[in-house]
């Protein structure tokens, strides 16, 4: 089934079912389907047809969702753009995708986007329409059906990687890959009509698009919409709407729990999902205390897997959740490959690069060959180093590109971050390799203290020395007020590496 076909079917079967909650009211499946039809008519009037690209740079909301289904209903492809992107980012993504239409807002973050796009247009010959009022697109006419029976292999979304380590590449997510990932997550968690998600992750990221929006749609659940994450706003929405599923990167969880305070709880939560990496032990304990009825679940996925690929098993205990990513979802095959020899790593505990294969894997990058990422036989080389633990669980060791070599030994910063993050005085931590004349590289770790904490660098170094081999112990612990984050809430290690290399 295609994306618009899924919505159409759901709207016919449960027309009065609430799907979206957006202040000040609610939107049913039937209302969303009709709204998508009207937007599709407006796009068609501007010449959009099968294979064309429509770029959307809007905050999370019903307008964004309507455009997703409207675009794909025409057989066109939606290009996700974060509303915070500016000149060079927008120019690259719009030129690379060849978008004919961009839908955005007139102003964001103090920037006049009307003027910005006017400056960019001469360098974008494919761009024909810049729409800054979604209501202008609303048209009338017969119901569009072209995309309802799209082939599962047809492109539905081009989602650009964050670009924190290089030029952003457009992952081509198909109707089939998106729905395969959404279904795998929904079935793994046993989601249903009684569940309610909070859409904290941006729809420009698979955490928002697939792990939240589409997983809720295939499960018959509801989605509470919020234009962007703020700890106070997220806390208010969880309580007010009795949210049962909250998913966010560990940074979001840290900020949410800080806002909640030590004595309050979140009794409605059924699943506390942490994306990107395993929840380190102290954070896992804090979430369990704050959400006593919730199961803490890790979720690992990439843009290139269209969403979730690995999640905690539902019978995992706290120690397993804190030390592993979980198990591959149904329909996902996993290999652990020696990045040098290219052979499968032997046995339990052996480390190597994680390769994944299955229906959720993207169809490659838009107009770009990446043989180091998309391998023969349908395998995706993730760039993440893992070890198999207990036969079927995967434990994250770190990114291949983040690994540094100290005195001839491989060091994965995430292992050290988990140790330092267990200290109650540490709110956030991120480490990179810093040049060193003797050892080649040594660990430089940036730490954000919890409010009121006076933990010292010496204390944290001693903590690491008591738990890790000496070559993994940080050489420098630098306290900072905050860490640079991507729009999806992930720590920008590339920015930290630049600071270290420049000595700033």
Residues 6+ apart with CB under 8 A from 261: none
Q: Which of 285, 292, 355 is nearest to 321 (CA)?
A: 285
**What is the per-residue pLDDT for 487?**
67
The arrangement of strands across the sheet holding 129-131 comes to: 129-131, 101-103, 53-56, 77-80, 155-160, 170-174
Q: What is the chain's Cα-based Rg?
A: 23
Residues of the chain with pLDDT under 70: 141-145, 162-166, 277, 408, 487-488, 504
- For strand 18-22 and strand 222-225, is the pairing parallel, antiparallel, or unpaired? parallel
How high is the pLDDT of residue 165?
44
The pLDDT value recorded for residue 470 is 83
**Could you tell me the two tokens for 447?**
């730490």
Domain architecture of the chain: domains with CATH: 3-150 (3.40.50.980), 177-399 (3.40.50.12780), 404-502 (3.30.300.30)
Where does 295-343 have alpha helices with state H? 318-323
- pLDDT recorded at residue 142: 66
Nearest CA-CA partner of 272 in 200, 180, 183, 179: 200
CB of 217 within 8 A of CB of 10? yes
In 3D space, the residue among 393, 416, 247, 390 whose CA is nearest the CA of residue 325 turns out to be: 393
Count of CB atoms within 10 A of residue 44's CB?
18
**DSSP letter for each residue of 145-204:** -TTTT--TTSEEEEEE---SSSS--EEEEEHHHHHHHHHHHHHHHT--TT-EEEE-S-TT
d(C-alpha 465, C-alpha 463), whole Å: 6
Q: What is the pLDDT of residue 166?
A: 55
Phi, psi of 187 (to 5 degrees): -70, -35
State the pairing for strand pair 440-449/476-479.
parallel
pLDDT value at residue 466: 84
Residues of the chain by 3-state class (helix, strand, coil), percent to 5: 35, 30, 40
């Amino acid at each position: 089934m295609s994306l618009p076909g899924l919505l159409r079917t759901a709207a016919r079967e449960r027309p009065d079912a609430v799907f979206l909650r957006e202040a000040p009211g609610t939107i049913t499946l039937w209302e969303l389907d009709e709204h998508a039809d009207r937007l599709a008519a407006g796009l068609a009037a501007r010449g959009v047809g099968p294979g064309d690209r429509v770029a959307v740079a809007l905050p999370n909301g019903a307008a964004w969702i309507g455009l997703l289904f409207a675009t794909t209903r025409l057989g066109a492809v939606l290009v996700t753009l974060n509303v915070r992107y500016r000149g060079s980012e927008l120019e690259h993504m719009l030129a690379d995708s060849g978008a004919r239409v961009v839908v955005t807002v007139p102003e964001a973050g103090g920037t006049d986007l009307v003027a910005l796009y006017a400056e960019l247009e001469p360098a974008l010959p494919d761009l024909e329409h810049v729409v800054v009022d979604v209501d202008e697109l609303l048209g009338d006419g017969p119901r569009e059906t072209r995309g309802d029976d799209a082939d599962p292999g047809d492109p539905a979304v081009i989602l650009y990687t964050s670009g924190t380590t290089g030029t952003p590449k457009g992952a081509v997510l198909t109707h089939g890959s998106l729905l395969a990932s959404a279904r795998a997550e929904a079935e793994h968690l046993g989601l249903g009509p009684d569940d309610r998600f909070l859409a904290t992750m941006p729809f420009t990221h698979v955490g928002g698009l697939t792990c939240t929006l589409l997983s809720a749609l295939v499960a018959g659940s509801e989605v509470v919409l919020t234009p962007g994450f703020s700890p106070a706003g997220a806390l208010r929405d969880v309580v007010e709407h009795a949210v049962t599923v909250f998913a966010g990167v560990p940074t979001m969880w840290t900020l949410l729990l800080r806002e909640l305070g030590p004595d309050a709880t979140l009794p409605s939560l059924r699943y506390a999902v942490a994306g990107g990496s395993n929840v380190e032990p102290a954070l896992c304990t804090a979430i369990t205390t704050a959400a006593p009825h919730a199961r803490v679940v890790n979720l690992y996925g990439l843009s290139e897997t269209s969403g979730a690929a690995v999640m905690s098993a539902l019978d995992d205990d706290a120690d397993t959740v804190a030390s592993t990513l979980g198990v591959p979802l149904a329909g996902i095959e996993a290999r652990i490959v020696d990045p040098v020899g290219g052979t499968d790593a032997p046995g339990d505990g052996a480390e190597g690069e994680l390769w994944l294969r299955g229906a959720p894997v993207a169809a490659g990058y838009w107009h770009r060959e990446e043989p180091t990422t998309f391998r023969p036989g349908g395998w995706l080389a993730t760039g993440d180093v893992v070890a198999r633990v207990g036969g079927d669980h995967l434990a994250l060791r770190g990114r291949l590109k983040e690994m540094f070599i100290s005195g001839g030994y491989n060091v994965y910063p995430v292992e050290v971050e988990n140790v330092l993050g267990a200290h109650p005085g540490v709110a956030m931590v991120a480490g990179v390799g810093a040049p060193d004349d003797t050892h080649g590289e040594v660990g430089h770790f940036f730490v954000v203290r919890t409010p009121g904490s006076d933990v010292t660098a010496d204390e944290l170094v001693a903590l690491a020395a008591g738990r890790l081999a000496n070559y993994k112990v940080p050489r420098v612990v630098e306290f900072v007020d905050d860490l640079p984050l991507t729009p999806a809430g992930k720590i920008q290690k590339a920015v930290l590496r630049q600071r270290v290399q420049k000595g700033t």
